[in-house]
Chain A
């Protein structure tokens, strides 16, 4: 079995032994889970703070204003973590005190693609991190009778084939929509390994389906849970 590398936004990297038993347990659970999905599925490091955000979003008694507020916070965290999947290079700069500093430089040539409608909720989060990033859109609708997803509208930056693509879609329950969207991207000559999927909530079923369909694509989600909060788009945009 492939050794799974779990990037955890926790204390592990620090070599400071402060992990509570619970943290170790969730870490183990994650490792187990990820064995089934391969190395390209990454989970946002879970801490109490992220858990609280997820809880609020799932709570049916959360008001819409709270829902949007906390959704935006979770989105921001997921986007920040997604950006970590983008390429970078090392560099040395000089600080105002005159000392050298070994830093990292982001590579250029990225873009975002949101899947209409709920994916658009994540656009602002991306904009807050990358002010002038280009953002394309895809509208995928599922057929009322066959439940088959079909692309209704797609608009991308012209040179998307040479860019890294951050695909944004918050909720995956079957994975059909995402699979369709990635197919469209591939039709535009975007290679699978250049796509990073940013996702908030996914079912294990959808995750498996997507990993199976596109093993080279990087997937980042904050939670794998059998029940997906399907009310996300409705509640976020207030159309429930």
Chain B
């Protein structure tokens, strides 16, 4: 809108102007962004591409020259900004806001709009959250976070969703709409990332952006590297975090923001908050009792449910955001180093030290420009709460820091140093798994946790059919199903049983057995494991089935986790984990690790497969001695493509008929 009102003010290319005009679906924050000279198209290309247009600077210069302010004069910037708004823009912008959206809803939508630092961005019901988690989108960077937009250190677009201004009268329907916008943006980001992560090589599609192993070759959890980032309000913590993530260039990072852990306000506090009198900067405003266990679980690599804080109602939404431990966990917040427990958990502590004037300037700009608040309220809050809290709680935390980063996100040297250190640490911890697995312990007697289906002429005959390269798919499917059924039946005999006495229709009692595990579920490792689901359903009535998608990254040879859906409360279940073949055991280990991370006890897991290579058996047994391994045959070797020898070939391809065309295809179809 602003763009239409005064296009010459912008240094946008004509294309960008067109784009910005053609985006009527966007709500208030975009207006803000437009005033800042950021177009929607810019937002979508983050974080990969740096912006070329720096309209805000031009804007700034334009005004500077007119009013005679120096660009580097930080202290006068606030005044400048105020004047700037007052003289030229204020009536237009605020007028627009009041007319169309009303300021409170504006504030609310800003929060919705500010994805990465708070979990609230992920709250949309249509968002397939788990999927996104697996894709490691936790760190998807919102456009407004990128300090790069402006070369001068002055204007970093707002990053904190801290919402002192959030009024209580949030009822505007626009807020909903805004949320959708923010989500659609995330979705676009997702698709754009996805397209980069898909490789197509001769008739095959390869996905390369799953979660790589987060445990060492013994299957033991490698503790994630936890980076704590602390700094005053609007100091650029998120920008630093984002830049670290970008520069790290590893696919699996979890970004946890302290903002998710604001306490739920009661009605009275709610009212105080709406009068700008609630102290959001005081340690008491945070729920450390929830924060500390959450961070601890993340550090243990476990799944956590992070609350989604609603800054409008000052309560938690009924839904939570699921996060998983990652190779690197970044925790940021104004009071990140306040609690000694948290400090202890951080492997690296960074303090972002930005000049107070700059921070005030950013705050003013954010609160006035984007949240439609009045100057007095913002200043009152700053003087009474933000500033004292900084002096009392935040600044003293600097002593805990390993590194103090002056000037926030613009300090590329500091960020490079940090990234270098993290890389060294990650290499030390060892995240390369598969090759090590294939070469580990071979030639030892089979472990005691393996349960081999007793060999019989039928079992051998079935093996002969499914191993034969000339078997047609029809027969392959039929005979593998028979073998699967036998393996599953055998696996079920390993469940715990108890003796029972029953009445028979013949009038005598009969002493028999009943399974004593009341909750059993199957989990298949896609794709080949899915072939075993039917057999499990055939033998267990109404069994719940979970799925885990793990693919091998063909460039690194590492397994990567893409997707998982597990029954709720899987920790209470006895889990039959299914994969048709196990070669190195890398995928199976990852799946077992996932189950353990969901608190399934190790002894409650059975991994069932048709065929295993000896090295895979040894690896799993060594890593998880209590997991029972059930299979119908153990083959001695693995070839350089990690196929079992003599083996079955690619079970999934043969079963589903997706062999590459150069491979033998006996069906000719």
Contact = CB atoms under 8 A, between A and B. Distances in A.
Given A16-B446, A97-B643, A106-B461, A55 B468 contact: no
Interface stretch (A108-116, A153-161, A226-234): A226-234
Contact of A104 (B464, B489, B500, B506): B464
Given A55-B502, A231-B505, A105 B514 contact: no
A94 B468 contact: yes
B645 interface: yes
Contacts of A49: 489-490, 492-493, 495
B647 A97 contact: yes
Contact of A59 (B467, B489, B504, B541): B504
Given A49-B493, A51-B497, A229-B506, A84 B457 contact: yes
Contacts of A7: 456
Given A60-B505, A227-B506, A95 B646 contact: yes
B455 interface: yes
In this complex, which of A7, A54, A129 has the most chain B Cβ atoms within 10 angstroms of its Cβ?
A: A129
A159 to B, nearest CB: 23
Contacts of A84: 456-458
Interface stretch (A73-81, A135-143, A177-185, A189-197): A73-81
Nearest to B643: A97
A86 B458 CA distance: 9
Interface residues of B, number: 55
A96 B469 CA distance: 5
A131 interface: yes
A97 B641 CA distance: 10
B153 interface: no
A11 interface: yes
B486 interface: yes
A69 B538 CA distance: 9
B646 A58 contact: no
A3 interface: no
Contact of A105 (B461, B639, B648): B461
B141 to A, nearest CB: 45
A238 interface: no
Nearest to A87: B457
Contacts of A60: 502-505
A97 B639 contact: yes
A47 interface: yes
Interface in B129-153: none
Contact of A103 (B467, B513, B514): B467
Contacts of B5: none
In this complex, which of A18, A95, A103 has the most chain B Cβ atoms within 10 angstroms of its Cβ?
A: A95
Contacts of A29: none
Contacts of B489: 49, 73, 76-77
Nearest to A88: B457
B424 interface: no
B508 interface: yes
B513 A52 contact: yes
B331 to A, nearest CB: 47
Contact of B454 (A11, A66, A88, A101): A11
Given A76-B485, A97-B645, A52 B454 contact: no
B464 A93 contact: yes
B512 A54 contact: yes
B632 to A, nearest CB: 12
Contacts of A91: 464
Contacts of B505: 60, 229-231
In this complex, which of B454, B500, B663 has the most chain A Cβ atoms within 10 angstroms of its Cβ?
A: B454
A101 B470 CA distance: 13
Interface string B446-471: 10101110111110110110011110
Contact of A69 (B448, B541, B648): B541
17 contacts: A13-B454, A48-B495, A48-B513, A50-B493, A51-B512, A52-B513, A55-B500, A58-B512, A69-B541, A76-B485, A84-B457, A88-B457, A91-B464, A97-B643, A104-B460, A131-B478, A229-B504
User: Which 7 A-B pairs have CB atoms at the shortest separation, nearest pair first?
Assistant: A55-B512, A103-B464, A96-B649, A49-B493, A99-B646, A48-B497, A59-B502
Interface of B: 446, 448, 450-452, 454-458, 460-461, 463-464, 467-470, 478, 482, 485-486, 489-490, 492-493, 495, 497, 500, 502-506, 508, 510, 512-515, 538-539, 541, 639, 643-650, 654, 663-664
